[in-house]
A = this chain, B = another copy of it.
Amino acid sequence: MTLTTAEENYLKAIYHLSDGGTKSVSTNDVAAEMKTKPASVSDMLRKLGDKEVIEYRKYYGVNITEEGKKRALTTIRKHRLWEVFLVDKLQFAWDEVHEVAEELEHIQSPLLIQRLDSYLNFPKFDPHGDPIPDEYGDVRARPRLALNEMDIDQSGQIVAVKDSSAAFLKYLDKVGAYIGARIKILDKVEFDGSMEILVDQKKTLFMSKDVAANILAIQS
Contact = CB atoms under 8 A, between A and B. Distances in A.
Interface stretch (A16-24, A72-80, A88-96, A180-188): A88-96
A216 to B, nearest CB: 28
A37 interface: no
Contacts of A92: 111, 115
Interface string A170-186: 00000000000000000
Contacts of A99: 109
A177 to B, nearest CB: 24
A32 interface: no
Nearest to A108: B103
A99 B112 CA distance: 11
A145 interface: no
Contacts of A109: 99-100, 103
Contact of A91 (B96, B100, B115): B115
Interface in A82-118: 86, 89-92, 96, 99-100, 103-104, 107-109, 111-112, 115-116
A119 interface: yes
Contact of A90 (B100, B108, B119): B119
A100 B115 CA distance: 13
A89 B112 CA distance: 11
A193 B114 CA distance: 44
A115 B103 contact: no
Nearest to A106: B103
19 contacts: A86-B112, A89-B119, A90-B112, A90-B115, A90-B116, A90-B119, A91-B115, A92-B111, A92-B115, A96-B111, A99-B109, A100-B107, A100-B109, A100-B112, A103-B107, A103-B108, A103-B109, A104-B104, A104-B107
